Amino acid sequence: MLLVDSAGSARALKTGPMDRGHLTWGSSGLSFSDATSEYVISDEGLTATVRGSEEAYETSRFLSPDGDGFIAVYNVGFGDREYLARVTTGDGATTRSWDTVGMYESVGQCGDRVVATTDIAETGAEHSPAAPRVDVLVQLYPEPPRGESAILATLPVKQGSFVMSASEAPCADGTLFALALQHEQPDGLGNSRPVLRAWNISAGKHEVIPLVTGRGAPIDVDDDLLGLPASIVGGRYVWVTVSGQVFSTDLSSGVTTRAFEVSLTSPEMGESQYVFTPTSLFVLDVGQNLRAPLGLDRYDLATGKRTRVLSIPGTGAVHHGLDMVIRDLALNPDWVNAQSSSEPETGRTSGARR
């Protein structure tokens, strides 16, 4: 874990391994995990809580509804009969975990619930081989009472096969939004088009919004549109690709425009990190030259104007080769608010997960 203050000075904290490890910054501090424990860094120091299970791959991490604890989702893999994910909650003192059947493609937090999409073939729900395969919307948190189904809604795959990647999907007004490539035929066959899936978690209504130009033609975008952060800003779905292209999609029409381009030192690496706020996109630019400082930039979402916030020198000492990559970025919310109001920058700024 690389801890950086507002002047760009950094210190490294050694942790155990966690593939795709995530960071969440709440009122109690910065939370993260390794294979066996959950951690919180606060002004009082580092607190470790043994989880009780060994994990290797973290899909998502969110703040608990009260803003104090965390909700983590881990990809467990195949159990005795089914593919499993594990949900773990904690507050820095205790943890609680439960298993849910499925391999989840897009996970999002809608109010006090965490929901995700998956394929019914991975849920363990009863179905015959002759029955049409369906996509499923599943509630991961809170844990449904014993005997109640976690499945909120289903969608026949015959309506189109969606190719998605594990990512966090934003939610607005009780609807989960996720980018996907929709193929003409099930199982990813046939031609594809970029779409936005909108799934209401209460009514179960599913809508496919094709991403089109102002003239109604499918937008021209590479396959790297999947898997990176996105946000709902002013009724628009704002998203970024691996190569640093920032797009804005009107939720009512699907009309998509290229908002601006992020300046990346080595876009082919795909290792740069992004954090959306209501007005800005923060970018940690990660390049191939490991001796060069890491740059943290802020882009105004309305104008695309770039501002260099700080440089982090000396990171080559810990970022020393392709066997160590940057996985996630979290920003101190107090510092972000100070940036927005142009107040003096104070305190610890960011944590970068390696």
Contacts of 346 (CB under 8 A, 6+ apart): 6, 334, 335, 338
What's the average model confidence in pLDDT over 329-354?
A: 69
| Across 50-72, average pLDDT | 94
Residue linked to tokens 């943890």: 95
pLDDT in tens, 16-45: 999 999 999 988 899 999 999 999 999 899
Would you list the DSSP string of 83-125?
EEEEEEEE-SS-EEEEEEES--SEEEEETTEEEEEEEGGGTT-
Answer with the residue of higher pLDDT: 83 or 134.
83
pLDDT above 90 as % of the chain: 53
> Mean pLDDT over residues 305-322, rounded?
78
Nearest to 106 by CA among 117, 94, 90: 117
